[in-house]
Amino acid sequence: MVDQSLIAKDYACRFLNILEKSNINLVPMETEFDALQAIQVGSITGYLKFPGNFTENMLKRLVWNVHANEEILNGSDISIRLDNSEYMNSYFVTKTLYESMQKLIQQIATEYGIDERAVKLPFSFNAVYGNMSDTWNTFFVPMFLFIMWALLSTTMGFLHVFDTNDGTLTRTMATGVDFHQVILSYYIADIPIAIIHAGLIISSVWWDRGDEIRGSWALIGLIFYLTRIVIIALYHMLASLKISVKDTLLAGISLMQIYIYASDTVWPIESVVWWYRYFCFCLPLTFPIRVLRCIMIRGWGITHPAVFFNGICYGIVCMIVLIGTTFLLERRNKKK
């Protein structure tokens, strides 16, 4: 803990106190060499080194501003060394350091009767959607939900693959059951499983974490179920290709890896090269993930064009294409 008696007169202690209140765990070190060794063994993320007479030089820097000499500038600079191999940790530490220094400078300005705006960066941020205090969780949660949902949606698709390879489907159709009825039965049998999966996701994510949902729950459920139908239809199409279960598993794993990397998950599509961007937009989970973020964070409804066309219409088109391809492949197999 920082000595409270030093906070008022020592700006280094005051800065450390602000860091403590920002949930940064401070670990005292005897020497800079000890701190560097602690980073190398992975026990700390980084360390701060304050120059001598930091408080005095900090005041001179604020007073002299652009006329401050090199001695004042060097004497008021805090040396920071970080383990930047873990980007997320170093990003949040760096962000907290900037914000804490801004608070310190504003506190000093207030003590001397100076308007805080004079020492603040000339920016005024206001959120149209979301909140300025939102963290990376807000952006990543929709992606994690869809990846989890896509994995859980493969159950009925794999059953159809097993039935096709084991000959069960052929024996069923030999009794007079139509292929349309077989496909429809998988979707009907999947409804109670989908309800159970949805309950598990809601209880483990929203109920436990308490994330705020600004959009309609019914619309979220519709997007989820359309995506589930598309995933099931994809595996029905793979089953109609008459490939083995092992090859189907490998294809499913490969597709899931592509989804995780390229479906606007960790890396925004707008930041990739133009030719790769078109490939990302062709993936079946890209638009649903983007639409789910719009519903959850922005509160957009079904009447919004982005939600209607990219979420509802896109899912229906994918479903029609995959189911149509499945029936065409099955008809070709019968002719053979």
* pLDDT tens figures, 288-297: 888 888 888 8
| Non-local CB neighbours of 250 within 8 Å, separated by 6+ positions | none
132: tokens are 């300025």
Residue 1 confidence (pLDDT): 47
Mean pLDDT of the chain: 81
Residues near 232 by beta carbon (within 8 Å), at least 6 away in sequence? 153, 154, 156, 157, 186, 187, 190
Residue of 217, 278, 234, 285 whose CA lies nearest to 257: 285
| Positions in the chain whose pLDDT score sits under 70 | 1-8, 204-211, 333-336
pLDDT of residue 2: 45
CA distance 68 to 262: 49
pLDDT, residue 6, reads 44
Q: Is 8 exposed, middle or buried (0-12, 13-18, 19+ CB in 10 A)?
A: exposed
Torsion on CA atoms 57, 63, 69, 71, rounded to nearest 10: 0
Angle at 311 between CA 305 and CA 316, to 5 degrees: 115
Burial class of residue 111, CB neighbours in 10 A (0-12, 13-18, 19+): exposed
pLDDT at 5: 46
pLDDT reported for residue 333: 64
**Predicted pLDDT at 184:** 85
